[in-house]
Amino acid sequence: MAKISVFYSEHPEDFHPVPDKLNISFGPGNIAWHKNFLYIPLEAPFRPKAAEDYADDSIGVSIHFEDLTKHPERPNQFGIDIHSVVRRLEKLKYQEGLHFEYSDIEQFIIQMADIEEIMQMDVKPFYKWR
């Protein structure tokens, strides 16, 4: 089962922690690349982390706004278009000559602003620093 964490940064004006990125950690070889969509629930509490807690020893993929979707029958979830992510990664492999195995990718990283936009709501209250 995936572990969902929210990374916080300091607000530049009042130095309070604000949610910055959502991290979905699957572990090695556990992402279902064959699926069309992966739906993520927006249910608190998530494990809060600061930028210095970010593990840079595992391979992650940034999920772009165009990879996100909303399902009309799942109002508290957002979706990730897995095929869109794979197309982008294949393009990078080809254009940049990158060499990696999909089974090596362990996590997805998503900007909270992109989640707010796709959900058309302010999701910050879901992730208050505790």
Domain boundaries, the chain: 3-127
Task: Supply the pLDDT for residue 102.
Answer: 93
Q: What is the mean pLDDT of residues 69-92?
A: 92
pLDDT tier at 129, thresholds 50, 70, 90 = very low
Of 48-52, 75-79, 97-101, the range with the highest mean pLDDT is: 75-79
| Backbone phi and psi for residue 119, each to the nearest 5 degrees, phi listed first | -85, -10
Instruction: Give the containing element (helix H, strand E) for 95.
Output: helix 82-96
- Give the percent of the chain with pLDDT over 90: 42
CA distance 25 to 61: 11
Residues 6+ apart with CB under 8 A from 94: none
Mean pLDDT of the chain: 83
pLDDT tier at 7, thresholds 50, 70, 90 = confident
Whole-structure pTM value: 0.81
